[in-house]
Chain A
Amino acid sequence: EVQLLESGGGLVQPGGSLRLSCTASGFAFSKYAMSWVRQAPGKGLEWVSGISGGGDITYYADSVKGRFTISRDNSKNTMYMQMNGLRAEDTAVYFCAKDRVLVGASQGFDYWGQGTLVTVSS
């Protein structure tokens, strides 16, 4: 059974940092691209960042480019998101999602975690 478990969310002040983790099980982790998708309270889905199965190719939404860094450790079946310079508008539930492909254009996210809440507030 595929499982994705996010952790690392919490309350942080504007300008602060957080590191999210997504631990995967039940599939060959290194063979699939992964993404972070967020959802602000009462709002729609927003793709944040993606990373290829090998970890050598990364993609970012313009809204987080230069502030967030995605990475993965395939030996630990874990993906990370280092979030720096956090803003109030980054407040959201952050989901990790498994892609159907190894690299390149997403073919759909077929498994999602339960999400972790990030709140940016003073």
Chain B
Amino acid sequence: SYELTQPPSVSVSPGQTASITCSGNKLGDKYACWYQQRPGQSPVLVIYQDTKRPSGIPERFSGSNSGNTATLTISGTQAMDEADYYCQAWDSSAAVFGGGTKLTVL
């Protein structure tokens, strides 16, 4: 079955740029999306179709996808961005999530 691999944790200083990667075989041939989940809350879609932001998502969130890696980039990271982030793609009639990355803003 298809697998997506994310680093368990990423740390960033406030105001700096955070990058979270998601790796999968030929992931660039599929659409990737990203979710933010704060503790005790439901996930929120922050990027879809590799690079698009849903209405209401700040411009500091951006995405890319090429080769075997999709990347979520958060520019000018704020304390409120501290959360778990999950990538997701579709393969062989199934949605697949990455294991999640805990973003710490310190």
Residues of A within 8 A of B (CB): 35, 37, 44-47, 50, 59-62, 95, 97, 100, 105-110, 112-115
Contacts and interface: CB of A to CB of B under 8 A. Distances in A.
A108 B42 contact: no
A44 B97 contact: yes
A106 B27 CA distance: 14
Interface of B, helix, strand, loop or mixed by DSSP? strand
B95 A47 contact: yes
B90 A106 contact: yes
Interface residues of B, number: 25
A115 B42 contact: yes
Given A44-B86, A47-B94, A115-B42, A107 B48 contact: yes
A47 B45 contact: no
Interface of A, helix, strand, loop or mixed by DSSP? strand
Given A62-B1, A107-B31, A109-B35, 18 more contacts: A37-B95, A44-B84, A44-B99, A44-B100, A45-B37, A45-B43, A45-B86, A46-B97, A59-B93, A59-B95, A60-B94, A100-B48, A105-B30, A105-B90, A108-B45, A110-B48, A110-B54, A115-B42
**Most chain-B CB neighbours within 10 Å: which of A45, A95, A110?**
A45
Nearest to B46: A108
A113 B43 CA distance: 9
B33 interface: yes
Contacts of A105: 30-31, 90
